[in-house]
Structure 1
Amino acid sequence: MSVDTMELLAPPAPGPRQECTTVLRVGARESAAQGVVTLTLVDPAGRPLPRWTPGAHIDLVLPEIGLVRQYSLCGDPADRYAWRIAVLLEPGGRGGSRHVHEALGRGATVLVRGPRNHFPLDPSPRYLFIAGGIGITPLLPMVAEAEAAGRDWELLYGGRSRSSMAFLDELASYGSRVRIHPQDEAGLLPLAQALDAPRLDSLVYCCGPEPLVTAVEGRCTDWPVDSLRTERFSARPVPPEQEERSTGFEVVCHRSGLTLDVAPHESILDVAERAGVRAFAACREGICGTCETRVLDGVAEHRDAILTDRQKAAGETMMICVSRCRGSRLVLDL
């Protein structure tokens, strides 16, 4: 077993959230759209799976190719015996989606970690859901929960074409609440129409490619604080001026009893790992939440795409794979 594989299989370090790691079996596999497959994961012994809530995702640990990949749960949270995920084949990716498509057929087993939820559906009288492509996956159970709770909601769902858009049959049962916008038929999503008038009674949930998320963020600048909740496929771009002012700082690892120097070009995670401090991580891009760490003293400069503005202002935790120190010293629960 390689060092990389051992690291992938190591249990997570203590932190603000704990999650289980288990081997699950692919109980069913179906085509959901062009280039998209759904996997239904079950416990090989038929035991119930951990509970989850809409917005949660799991890690697929793929030691065969040295990768960990995050996929949103898009089934029914009430079903304790099956987890469903949908995986888009990305030819230009690092190989995670290709491995899922080619190696994880019915009956195959896979190491799974989670569930973890940094994109929860918070209470609101009204919701606007905005999905781009495979970004529909975390929103699908949110829509179902909003409908079951009798909330006012609407879904804008865009994609390249109908053939590339997953779960259209499931969404058809909601009627006019769902507005489908295949780009080859209807053009881009009508964000100006949907978002130009801020509403005090609404939460906006958006998941999709970076151009869509950035456009929605731009349209929501006049909305009440924390009205918009987003989940990204990739890291949030760091403004050049913020990157230029990055400086070195000191990190005190409270539980390990070590004090580490983090240079301007290094991450806290890299330095901690090099010093032998267990600091578990998966995406290393600030989008999965695996490396979330408690801040005991000091002020973090948040660069992740997970925490809300209120959470960042509170400064209780940080993602050590991308975030830094706003000052010269941090004390972390490491």
Structure 2
Amino acid sequence: MNDPWGISGPDFVVLYIALLGAVLLVRVIVSGIVAARAMRSDQAHAGPPPTVYQLAFLAGGPDRATDAAIAALVERGQLRVNSYKQISKTGTRPVDPLERAVFDVAKLKTTAMIRAKVRASAAMRALEEGLDQRGLLASAAAKRQSRTFGLVLQLAVLAFGVVRLVNGISLGRPVGVLVFLVLVAAVLAIVAAVRRSKTGARQPSAAGHRLLGQARAAASGPVPAGMLAGGVLLGGAAAAVALGGWAMYPDEELSAALTPPMGSFGGGGSSGSSGSSCSSGSSCSSSSSCSSGSSCGGGGCGGGGCGG
């Protein structure tokens, strides 16, 4: 038998395809097990009642927390939105760390641009660490370990294919199909490496989901605005955005102006919304009126061979 490694080319191709499929299956299973174990953190550590920004982070990650801070500052008149959907500071610097981080970068920036700048801020890291210390976020270390394991498996299969490919070429065997499969393995390894390098938004643990559910249930109940329910201040625009996103902002015009376009990654244009908008140089306040005596019009601000 002159077949390399005692395996014919067609048999190796079948084996390699099976290995690629098995590794993908193992990665999915391991990822699911790790996610389930991370989510099983059911006990929240003792601590003060969660802030509206902690709830926002649990509900939608750093971007939702940033949105809630923007909503609070606009409602209090410390930020304003002009007719080009740009946010700028107009009041005194706030005390809350996350609000300060938002306020400091609000220099004719869109919501998407402010999100991009605040994601890596010290205030956002402190907010995440506070939730992590209380057991309200799923383990990031466990997810990274599972992705590292998946990457190692993917690289091992790639190396196995490359060795067979080199051996087949040296023996002058047809390797067209194997070249294609090795390329597939290389792409899968690259994807696994990229996934490992990306942390992504932290997900709530079981305790975090429970706390978030309690806050939403309380907020939907007969609780007067501004009253405490479940240890959380439920009234105001910040709480509405924290739990429901910009769609829940109490002012429709400002909601439309502050909502980033779909697929926005921190950039964002400066064009106004369709329909009429505020006059040039004016800005929309939380009451949807324009400054400088003007008013908002129209309801809008804003190859052929085997494997060696």
Q: TM-score, normalised by structure 1?
A: 0.20
Bigger fraction of residues in strand: 1
Q: Comparing both structures, which one devotes a greater share of its residues to helix?
A: 2
Larger RCO (CA under 8 A, 6+ residues apart): 2
Larger radius of gyration: 2
Relative to the length of structure 2, the TM-score reads 0.22
